[in-house]
A and B are shown apart, each in its own frame.
Chain A
Amino acid sequence: MFTHLFTRTALLVGLLVGAAHGAPAAVLQVGNGSEPGSLDPQKTNGVWESRITLALFERLVTYAADGSLTPGLAESWTISDDGTTYTFDLRQAEWSDGTPITADDAVFALRRLLKPAIANHNANLYYPIENARAVNTGEAKPSELGVSAPDDHTLVIQLDNPTAYFLQALAMTEAAPLPQHLIEKAGDEWAKPGTMVSSGAFTLQEWRPQAHVKIKQNPHFYNADAVSLDGVTFYPTGDASAALNRFRAGDLDISYTKVPTARSDWVKNNLGDSLRVGAKVGEYFYMFNLRDGQPLADERVREALNLAVRRKVITKQILGMGQHASHWYVPRGTENGTQGSLDFAEQPMKQRLTRAKRLMREAGYGPDNPLHVTLRYNTLESHKKIAVAVAAMWKPLGVEVELLNAEATVHFAAINEGDFEIARYGMIATINDPYDFLNAYAEDGSAQRSTGYHNDDYDALLKRSTQELDTERRTELMTQAEQMLLDDYALLPLYDYVSAHLVTPEVKGWQTTVLDVHPLRYIHLED
């Protein structure tokens, strides 16, 4: 009798304990690369930061699981016929403290984004908004920005000119509506754990710098029922080998840290089920300094250098992660993608080399009178390997290459100051649109300022393309612009980037996307 009673009591206690603990929490462990510099979405600039802030702050327009745009806090929107007035209809939603999210929060956030003191890196993407540039340079008050909230659930954004990529810019983390009621009270401290109020599928739980950032599911999220993960822990994993070890040890479900180049074959052979490679909107190319007096000012030389490079040798034998050899500037995976191409792309190598040697002779160079050029690259094993290979490919043309290696900050400072002849460059899309790439070579664009490239026709074509409302016609105009750039041999394209991440097979709902965004709200962990 006593034994029976004891057994029953033990069973009951067991059941109660089990119920109290519930099912094990589904917490995703993510190796996030670097340590976030901030969790204020308007003060971040790195992809490792936006991976967190995109989960914390919902935008008017958001990313679907495949990276395409889908309604977020705005249930729907209309664009005026002239393409300059955007009217958003906001859904009923709440901040994580239960306060309603209103159109005023969106107005507040956009005004804050353009304040000079916020010093947002991507503020220029929002310059199409009426008065935005003036606000950002301190010449106009934030209240003069072309945004208004006629009522709690309607937001109107007035642009100066039609801007095809504008919805893409609104999907970015810096454009998320922010909790005005909290920021006005807490000031700069608002984005700290314990204070932050968020609107996304997750809220901030804990942030231990250099150790981890923990986020947990937000019960106030408008679509909380569809979120499966209980939480996510992000670890800063800067060291590539260490991140690989931690992934292999099972400490990480996802590793966003780059796989070490030297281990790529091993990873492909041993972690094939986990290696997720996909196209990415990013271009790896060599930039030429085109200013007068520079050796690369001669178009014949630039054409010859372009002709002599065997791009597939680089993508297949040096990189080997599925990168796509490119004879174009705008990556092929880009939405509304252009179709420009270097004219010799299909020619046999022998024919290309003959032409390259002839061009060099015409420019006054050859084995007897070699061209001496410097090629700058920033410190990374793969950049070095590519630079050495390209220098060897140019050798038959009578080109003597001096390789200059520098840490990233020094490398990019030299490029920005135009202190280079040929420089390794990589451009990763901020927005999924060819304009993001092409604008760099337009007047006052970053690449234009570095290289000195100037072509009035190019600038005019690009300007026309931004104002064109018909998508096909716009792509056509941008293709013409890209072709112009390629016909000028303004740069030397090498390959389209890919994203290559380690994701355990237990992680479901994770997709490769061209912008390399992976919304956590669609991800679940399989038992």
Chain B
Amino acid sequence: MLSYTLKRLLQAIPTMLFVITISFFLMRIAPGGPFDGERALPPEIEANLMAAYHLDEPLPMQYVRYMGNLLQGDFGPSFKYKDFSVTQLIMQGFPVSLEIGGLAILLALLLGLPLGVIAALKRNSIIDYLVMGTALAGVAIPNFVIAPILALVFGVLLAWLPAGGWNGGALPNLVLPVIALSIQQLAYIARMMRASMIEVLSSHYIRTARAKGLAESQVIWRHALRPALLPVTSYLGPAVAGIVTGSVVIEQIFGIPGIGRYFVQGALNRDYTLVMGTVVFYGALIVLMNLLVDLLYSALDPQIRHDD
């Protein structure tokens, strides 16, 4: 297992190098620069800005400079958020994104899994239709629609919870963003769990277990649940990465100081170093999540081993 993990980590190096290089040059090719604004700057001022950020150097030299700094763990200064380095911004934003993302995925699992199992067990019943109908709506309605509705209803009209703001991560401030962020994942997980459970329940060994006279609860808990969890597990890696990195809209709507906002704002402002920093960070996160899921998968399914 250790050698497999090391091998996978080594394989990640060329992947990351490719991602960094492509992102670096794509950012520079994109029209518009970090100092293009409503009022064009006088040439002398623009020259000062370009020199301050080494943008007046030839592109290959900028690339070499960037890679050199990166190897020393330095993402460089942000062009827009000048009082902070990109590393500082990521380190401040990531725990926040991780907190709401982690809670959202936890909520999605805690509710999605049992709902999926119930729907599978009560297949084609009113409960099944109700759960799957709601899940379909959850998948179909994007969170940029759900989030403002939640803020309006629970924040403004009922005034039960704050309509936005972080407040140091106080519980009332967490509730709405976590719900908004988890709804789509919850719906996916419930649908996936139902399908997977139905498939497992119709397999031969479950029929054999039932034929042996095992109680239905034992059949489900001991024999069906674990294999049924496999597809959900493999979905978990991209889901966790997606929920942590993809909470941009939620962070924007609820005013949450997470990392997602830096990525979008960095891209819009052509803040090259900030975009590169978040891309490298996200890339590493996705590679890591996929590796963790593979390891978890092998723990759940004894047929899969990575000892080679």
A interface residue numbers (CB < 8 A to B): 35, 37-40, 43, 45, 116-121, 123-124, 133, 136-137, 191-192, 208-212, 235-239, 241-242, 245-246, 248-251, 406-416, 425-428, 430, 440, 444, 446, 449-450
Contacts and interface: CB of A to CB of B under 8 A. Distances in A.
B116 to A, nearest CB: 32
Nearest to A190: B83
Contacts of A430: 39
Given A236-B255, A242-B252, A409 B32 contact: yes
18 contacts: A35-B265, A38-B81, A38-B82, A116-B48, A116-B52, A117-B52, A118-B48, A119-B48, A124-B45, A136-B45, A136-B48, A209-B89, A210-B256, A245-B156, A250-B159, A412-B36, A412-B37, A415-B40
Contact of A413 (B36, B78, B148, B252): B36
Contacts of A212: 166
A275 B146 CA distance: 27
Contacts of B83: 37-40, 43, 191-192
Given A37-B81, A133-B44, A409-B32, A237 B255 contact: yes
Interface string B30-73: 01110011111110110111011000000000000000000000
Main secondary structure of the interface of A (DSSP, over half): mixed
A379 to B, nearest CB: 10
B148 A241 contact: yes
Contacts of B81: 35, 37-38, 209
A246 B161 CA distance: 11
Nearest to A124: B42
Given A136-B48, A238-B252, A427-B39, A245 B152 contact: yes
A211 B38 contact: no
Interface of B: 31-33, 36-42, 44-45, 47-49, 51-52, 78, 80-84, 89, 92-93, 148, 151-152, 155-156, 159, 162-166, 168, 251-258, 261-262, 265, 268-270
Contacts of B31: 406, 409-410, 413-414
Contacts of B80: 37
Given A239-B252, A251-B162, A43 B82 contact: yes
Contact of B165 (A119, A239, A251, A406): A251
Contacts, number: 158
A212 to B, nearest CB: 8
Most buried by A among B39, B166, B258: B39
Nearest to B147: A242
Contacts of B168: 211
Contact of A427 (B38, B45, B84, B255): B38
A430 B156 CA distance: 37
Contacts of B152: 245
A96 B152 CA distance: 41
B261 A210 contact: yes
Nearest to A415: B40
Nearest to A210: B257
A444 B253 CA distance: 41
A45 B78 CA distance: 15
A225 to B, nearest CB: 31
Contact of A412 (B38, B84, B156, B261): B38
A413 B162 contact: no
B165 A246 contact: yes
B97 to A, nearest CB: 11
Nearest to B253: A242
Nearest to B93: A210
Given A413-B32, A446-B40, A116 B148 contact: no
Given A245-B156, A409-B268, A412-B36, A119 B45 contact: yes
A45 B261 CA distance: 20
B93 to A, nearest CB: 7
A410 B164 contact: no
B92 A246 contact: no
A410 B268 CA distance: 9
A242 B254 contact: yes
A192 B81 CA distance: 12
Pairs of residues from A and B, 4 with the lowest C-beta to C-beta distance, nearest first = A210-B257, A409-B32, A413-B32, A446-B40
B257 A209 contact: yes
B83 to A, nearest CB: 5
Contacts of B93: 209-210
A246 B52 contact: no
Contacts of B39: 427, 430, 440, 446
Given A35-B81, A209-B92, A408-B268, A120 B45 contact: yes
A248 B268 contact: no
Contacts of A35: 81, 261, 265
A40 B163 contact: no
Contacts of A408: 37-38, 268
A44 B48 CA distance: 15
Contacts of B253: 239, 241-242
B166 to A, nearest CB: 5
Contacts of A239: 252-253
A57 B192 CA distance: 58
Given A38-B82, A210-B257, A409-B268, A245 B155 contact: yes
Contacts of B78: 37
B150 to A, nearest CB: 10
Contact of A235 (B48, B92, B165, B252): B165
A133 B253 CA distance: 44
Contacts of B257: 208-211
A210 B37 contact: no
Contacts of A411: 32
A248 B163 contact: yes
